Amino acid sequence: MAGKKPKTLGTGAGIVWRRQRVLWWIFIVTLFFSFLGTRRPVERVGQVLNHSLGATPRLVHGFDLSAIAELGEQPEAPLEIFNTGTMVFPIVFAIFMLFATGGVLAVYYRDETLKAGEFFGASGRHFWRFFRLLIYFAIASIPILILISIASGVYNHLDEVSTSPLTAVYFFVAAAVVILFVAMSVRVWFDMAQVIAYAEEETRMHKALRIAAGLVWHNFGSLFWLYFRISLLGCLGFGLGFYLWMAWLRPESTVAAFFLGQMMILLWIATRLWQRASEAAWYREHEASEIESAPAFSPIPVPVMAGPASATPEMN
């Protein structure tokens, strides 16, 4: 009997809903680190805007890109992003999320609500494994960065020499689709390597990557379509929230803007967790179908050879 093809889009959503404690817990941690990471830039921007008669009205009553550019040129650099005080919190948050991935996969793969000790135990047990996977992921991303650099150079060249402005636009769209497809494929590959590392208790990450590569290669359509649909739904929901923010919220509605922004962040986190739960459920169902489709083992009977009649001793 052939194994059933895993259908896990709704299954993954159901797991996230049943185990939504993970979602709210990560959202609270995200909110905490966001507050710490934005407190200093907000103070710096506020100090500049309080003494700026040109940029302040354009930002209070709407969104003005030229006003943002004007702030970026201020000597105080209120919009400076890449500094030690600002970047430390995103780095700490990224490390924390890498640590929590083992516990998240444990909850979703087992579809059980774990105690705190079990959750953090799974997180700690898989942290260094996933850290090594992160290094492999950085190496695998180098060709993608090279591809982006080449595409950027070709786009600039076409924009300069082409008589039609649409030529560069068409190339940009085509290059973006190809690069996005490659990046998503690599992401699916490493996601499945993490699932395999947890489900099979594999400590050698190069082996987990090799197994995941074969699994993705033979089931690429199913896994990529699963990942792509969730990503598309998440982008549509995030885009809708951004449209409501820009088109319907008044600039003075800071409270409504805060709650809408938090809902957008919550949706983005839920989308990513939906992907992880769906991948874990897919692998679990795939393994179950492989076991069902495997031929049953039946022992081969060993014939018993009767000895010659003369071998039997006669009783006198």
Tell me the CA distances in angstroms from 220 to 123, 161, 192, 229, one per residue in order. 28, 39, 11, 14
Read off the pLDDT of residues 119-129 as tens digits, 9 standing for 90 and up: 999 999 999 99
Question: Could you tell me if residue 313 is inside a domain?
Answer: no
Q: Cβ–Cβ contacts within 10 Å for residue 236, how many?
A: 10
Residues 245-258, mean pLDDT to the nearest whole number = 79
Provide the domain count of the chain: 1
15: Cβ contacts below 8 Å, ≥ 6 apart: 108, 111, 277, 280, 281
Question: Could you tell me if residue 145 is inside a domain?
Answer: yes
Q: Which residue has the higher pLDDT, 65 or 220?
A: 220
**Residue 241 sits in which domain range?**
9-285
pLDDT at 57: 54
pLDDT at 3: 45
Question: Could you tell me if residue 293 is inside a domain?
Answer: no
pLDDT at 190: 96
pLDDT at 163: 78
Nearest to residue 200, comparing CAs of 290, 109, 275?
Answer: 109
Question: Could you tell me if residue 79 is inside a domain?
Answer: yes
- Asked whether 94 and 123 are in contact (CB, 8 A), the reply is no
Opening angle at CA 130, ends 128 and 135, nearest 5? 95
Length of the chain in terms of residues written: 316
pLDDT at 310: 46
Token duo for residue 36: 């710490």
Residues 158-183, mean pLDDT to the nearest whole number = 88
Q: Which residue has the higher pLDDT, 8 or 190?
A: 190
Q: Which residue has the higher pLDDT, 164 or 73?
A: 164
Percent of the chain with pLDDT over 90: 51
Nearest to residue 43, comparing CAs of 19, 11, 79, 75?
Answer: 79
Question: Could you tell me if residue 157 is inside a domain?
Answer: yes
Q: At what angle do helices 9-18 and 84-110 cross, to 10 degrees?
A: 110
pLDDT at 168: 85
* pLDDT surpasses 80 at 65: no
Read off the pLDDT of residues 86-115 as tens digits, 9 standing for 90 and up: 678 788 889 999 999 999 999 999 988 899
Question: Could you tell me if residue 307 is inside a domain?
Answer: no
Sign for the pseudo-dihedral over CA of 183, 188, 193, 194: positive
pLDDT at 85: 57
Question: Could you tell me if residue 1 is inside a domain?
Answer: no
Question: Could you tell me if residue 309 is inside a domain?
Answer: no
Range in 21-30, 90-99, 255-264, 288-297 the model is least confident about: 288-297
Rounded CA separation 106/95 (Å): 18
The gap from C-alpha 294 to its chain's centroid, in whole angstroms, comes to 32
